[in-house]
């Protein structure tokens, strides 16, 4: 059996996340074992309420497991708090959300700067990131002057401006139709293939799995499928 020698960028071991206690407790994640490898595109599928957002938040250090361990890069973040945890979140992880989460009173450039400043990168990182997502000429537009797809590209620029190894995307095309959503998937695939980002996409949208190197399926907080794919399709061919 060939043993994978790829670097692990995130590992969840026996992770549970329970909200509340006793008979009314909600088990958002149960006994989750998951390894994300460097450079891969992992697509985590599951219906609404299956635990996708919880999983992403636990992996990114936004939320804490009730039991189990979470390792990001070579740091076990399970018991980290305060500045130590903030450092990991800032340096190792970029988040992209369904509804973009841009500040409406700031331009595209300023929205990206907000994050770049936090990590003390120079202004070049901002220009680079906007270039990466093809929005150099829209840098001075406000979110309200941009289409949904463009706003999501600003959000992706913001997430990658820190050059985090791990890009965590929560329903990144959930607010977009196929015509505006597909270029977002093409962009995420390019960031993985050409820039070496590791990309995790959670979605309820099954066809997106076709572009994944790694497909994970969640049901009621449990992983019910976990497989790697030899020849994923080009994101430009994804249809829904």
Task: Kindly list the residues in this chain that would bind ligand ADP in the complex (CB under 6 A).
Answer: 19, 26, 28, 46, 48-54
Of the two residues 63 and 110, which places its CB atom closer to Mg ion in the complex? 63
Of the two residues 18 and 35, which places its CB atom closer to ligand ADP in the complex? 18
Of the two residues 52 and 162, which places its CB atom closer to Mg ion in the complex? 52
Name the residue among 46, 49, 60 with its Cα closest to residue 27: 49
Of the two residues 51 and 73, which places its CB atom closer to ligand ADP in the complex? 51
Q: Which of residues 45-64 bind Mg ion (CB under 5 A)?
A: 52-53
What three-state secondary structure class fits 198? strand
Q: How far is the CB of 213 from ligand ADP (least distance, A)?
A: 21
> Which listed option, ligand ADP, Mg ion, none, makes contact with residue 78 (CB within 5 to 8 Å by class)?
none
Of the two residues 22 and 144, which places its CB atom closer to ligand ADP in the complex? 22
Name the residue among 164, 71, 157 with its Cα closest to residue 119: 164
Sheet arrangement for strand 8-19: 26-37, 8-19, 67-72, 75-76
> Which listed option, ligand ADP, Mg ion, none, makes contact with residue 152 (CB within 5 to 8 Å by class)?
none
Q: How far is the CB of 51 from Mg ion (least distance, A)?
A: 8
Burial class (CB in 10 A: 0-12, 13-18, 19+), 150: buried
Q: How far apart are CA 172 and CA 182, in angstroms?
A: 10
> Which listed option, ligand ADP, Mg ion, none, makes contact with residue 49 (CB within 5 to 8 Å by class)?
ligand ADP
Lookup: tokens for 179 = 């015509």
Interface with Mg ion (CB under 5 A): 52-53
């Amino acid at each position: 059996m060939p043993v994978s020698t790829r670097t692990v960028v995130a590992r969840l071991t026996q992770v549970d996340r329970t909200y509340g206690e006793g008979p009314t407790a909600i088990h958002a994640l149960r006994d989750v074992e998951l390894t994300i490898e460097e450079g891969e595109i992992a697509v985590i599928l599951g219906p609404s309420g299956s635990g996708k957002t919880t999983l992403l938040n636990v992996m990114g250090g936004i939320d804490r497991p009730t039991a189990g361990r979470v390792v990001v890069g070579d740091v076990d973040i399970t018991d980290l708090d305060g500045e130590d945890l903030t450092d990991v979140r800032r340096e190792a992880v970029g988040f992209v959300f369904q509804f973009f989460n841009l500040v409406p009173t700031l331009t595209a450039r300023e929205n990206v700067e907000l994050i770049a400043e936090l990590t003390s990168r120079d202004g070049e990182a901002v220009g680079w990131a906007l270039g990466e997502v093809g929005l150099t000429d829209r840098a001075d537009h406000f979110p309200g002057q941009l289409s949904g797809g463009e706003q999501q590209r600003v959000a992706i620029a913001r997430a990658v401006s820190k050059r985090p190894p791990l890009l965590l995307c929560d329903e990144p095309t959930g607010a977009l139709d196929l015509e505006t959503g597909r270029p977002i998937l093409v962009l995420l695939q390019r960031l993985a293939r050409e820039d070496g980002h590791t990309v995790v996409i959670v979605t309820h949208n099954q066809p997106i799995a076709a572009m994944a190197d790694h497909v994970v399926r969640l049901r009621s907080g449990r992983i019910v499928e976990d497989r790697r794919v030899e020849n994923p399709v080009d994101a430009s061919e994804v249809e829904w």
